[in-house]
Amino acid sequence: MKRERERDREFCEVKTLGSTYIAPSVSMKGEMFFDGVVRIAGQLEGKIYFKNPRDRLIIEREGIIRGTIQGFDIEIFGRMDGEIKSQGRVILRPSAIVRGKISALSLVIYPGSQLDIESVNCKQ
Protein backbone atom coordinates (compact mmCIF):
# COMPACT_ATOMS: atom_id res chain seq x y z
CA MET A 1 0.00 0.00 0.00
CA LYS A 2 2.78 2.43 0.91
CA ARG A 3 4.56 1.66 -2.37
CA GLU A 4 1.39 2.44 -4.36
CA ARG A 5 1.08 5.84 -2.65
CA GLU A 6 4.72 6.65 -3.41
CA ARG A 7 4.21 5.70 -7.06
CA ASP A 8 1.04 7.83 -7.28
CA ARG A 9 2.95 10.85 -5.96
CA GLU A 10 5.50 10.49 -8.76
CA PHE A 11 2.88 10.70 -11.54
CA CYS A 12 0.67 13.69 -12.24
CA GLU A 13 -1.61 14.22 -15.22
CA VAL A 14 -3.33 17.56 -15.65
CA LYS A 15 -6.11 17.79 -18.24
CA THR A 16 -7.65 21.16 -18.94
CA LEU A 17 -9.70 22.69 -21.71
CA GLY A 18 -8.17 26.12 -21.30
CA SER A 19 -5.07 26.96 -19.36
CA THR A 20 -3.21 25.93 -16.22
CA TYR A 21 -1.30 28.21 -13.85
CA ILE A 22 1.24 26.85 -11.36
CA ALA A 23 1.62 29.58 -8.70
CA PRO A 24 4.97 30.71 -7.24
CA SER A 25 4.17 28.97 -3.93
CA VAL A 26 3.71 25.57 -5.64
CA SER A 27 6.48 22.97 -5.91
CA MET A 28 5.94 19.70 -7.81
CA LYS A 29 8.21 16.73 -8.42
CA GLY A 30 7.81 13.69 -10.66
CA GLU A 31 6.47 12.86 -14.11
CA MET A 32 3.84 15.36 -15.32
CA PHE A 33 1.54 15.40 -18.36
CA PHE A 34 -0.18 18.65 -19.34
CA ASP A 35 -2.73 19.79 -21.94
CA GLY A 36 -3.40 23.30 -23.22
CA VAL A 37 -1.56 26.46 -22.25
CA VAL A 38 0.48 26.05 -19.07
CA ARG A 39 2.09 28.94 -17.17
CA ILE A 40 4.66 27.94 -14.56
CA ALA A 41 5.58 30.45 -11.84
CA GLY A 42 6.41 27.76 -9.27
CA GLN A 43 9.06 25.05 -9.17
CA LEU A 44 8.83 21.77 -11.09
CA GLU A 45 11.37 18.96 -11.05
CA GLY A 46 11.21 15.85 -13.22
CA LYS A 47 9.82 15.03 -16.66
CA ILE A 48 7.17 17.26 -18.24
CA TYR A 49 5.22 16.10 -21.29
CA PHE A 50 2.79 17.74 -23.72
CA LYS A 51 0.94 15.67 -26.35
CA ASN A 52 -0.90 18.14 -28.57
CA PRO A 53 0.73 20.51 -31.13
CA ARG A 54 -1.52 23.32 -29.81
CA ASP A 55 -0.11 22.91 -26.29
CA ARG A 56 2.14 25.70 -25.04
CA LEU A 57 4.42 26.05 -22.03
CA ILE A 58 5.35 29.42 -20.56
CA ILE A 59 7.92 29.50 -17.77
CA GLU A 60 7.23 32.76 -15.95
CA ARG A 61 10.01 34.99 -14.60
CA GLU A 62 9.66 33.35 -11.13
CA GLY A 63 9.35 29.84 -12.58
CA ILE A 64 12.05 27.19 -12.26
CA ILE A 65 12.08 23.83 -14.02
CA ARG A 66 14.73 21.17 -13.44
CA GLY A 67 14.54 18.10 -15.63
CA THR A 68 13.21 17.34 -19.11
CA ILE A 69 10.51 19.12 -21.11
CA GLN A 70 9.05 17.31 -24.10
CA GLY A 71 6.49 19.39 -25.96
CA PHE A 72 5.77 21.91 -28.65
CA ASP A 73 5.92 25.71 -28.25
CA ILE A 74 7.94 26.71 -25.19
CA GLU A 75 8.56 30.27 -24.02
CA ILE A 76 11.00 30.91 -21.18
CA PHE A 77 11.13 34.03 -19.02
CA GLY A 78 12.43 32.16 -15.95
CA ARG A 79 14.91 29.36 -15.36
CA MET A 80 15.31 25.94 -16.99
CA ASP A 81 17.98 23.42 -16.02
CA GLY A 82 17.96 20.24 -18.09
CA GLU A 83 16.83 19.18 -21.54
CA ILE A 84 14.24 20.75 -23.84
CA LYS A 85 12.82 18.60 -26.65
CA SER A 86 10.46 20.78 -28.67
CA GLN A 87 8.55 19.85 -31.81
CA GLY A 88 7.83 23.54 -32.24
CA ARG A 89 9.47 26.83 -31.33
CA VAL A 90 11.52 27.64 -28.24
CA ILE A 91 11.69 31.33 -27.29
CA LEU A 92 14.24 32.52 -24.71
CA ARG A 93 13.23 35.95 -23.39
CA PRO A 94 15.75 38.48 -21.97
CA SER A 95 15.18 37.27 -18.38
CA ALA A 96 15.65 33.57 -19.28
CA ILE A 97 18.37 31.49 -17.64
CA VAL A 98 18.84 28.17 -19.44
CA ARG A 99 21.34 25.39 -18.78
CA GLY A 100 21.44 22.07 -20.62
CA LYS A 101 20.39 20.86 -24.08
CA ILE A 102 17.87 22.23 -26.57
CA SER A 103 16.33 20.40 -29.52
CA ALA A 104 13.64 22.33 -31.44
CA LEU A 105 12.21 23.13 -34.86
CA SER A 106 13.22 26.74 -34.29
CA LEU A 107 14.98 28.69 -31.56
CA VAL A 108 14.60 32.41 -30.82
CA ILE A 109 17.12 33.94 -28.39
CA TYR A 110 16.54 37.48 -27.16
CA PRO A 111 19.48 39.65 -26.02
CA GLY A 112 19.96 39.36 -22.28
CA SER A 113 19.20 35.63 -22.08
CA GLN A 114 21.75 33.74 -19.99
CA LEU A 115 22.73 30.45 -21.62
CA ASP A 116 24.98 27.56 -20.63
CA ILE A 117 24.08 25.12 -23.38
CA GLU A 118 25.75 21.75 -24.00
CA SER A 119 24.15 21.34 -27.41
CA VAL A 120 21.55 22.89 -29.69
CA ASN A 121 19.77 21.02 -32.45
CA CYS A 122 17.41 23.05 -34.65
CA LYS A 123 15.67 21.25 -37.48
CA GLN A 124 14.92 24.30 -39.66
Residue 76 has a CB neighbour count (10 Å cut-off) of 26
Write the pLDDT tens digit of every residue in 3-45: 554 444 455 555 555 789 999 999 999 999 999 999 999 999 9
Phi, psi of 90, deg, nearest 5: -110, 125
Q: What are the angstrom distances between the C-alpha of 29 and each of 23, 53, 64, 106?
A: 14, 24, 12, 28
Q: 77, 90 in Cβ contact below 8 A?
A: no
In percent, the amount of the chain with pLDDT more than 70 equals 85
| Confidence bin at 119 (pLDDT 50/70/90) | confident
Write the pLDDT tens digit of every residue in 61-86: 999 999 999 999 999 999 999 999 99
Q: Which pLDDT score is estimated for 15?
A: 54
Total domain count for the chain?
1
Give Cα 5 to chain centroid, integer Å: 25
Structural domain containing residue 13: 2-122
Mean pLDDT of the chain: 88
Q: Which pLDDT score is estimated for 85?
A: 96
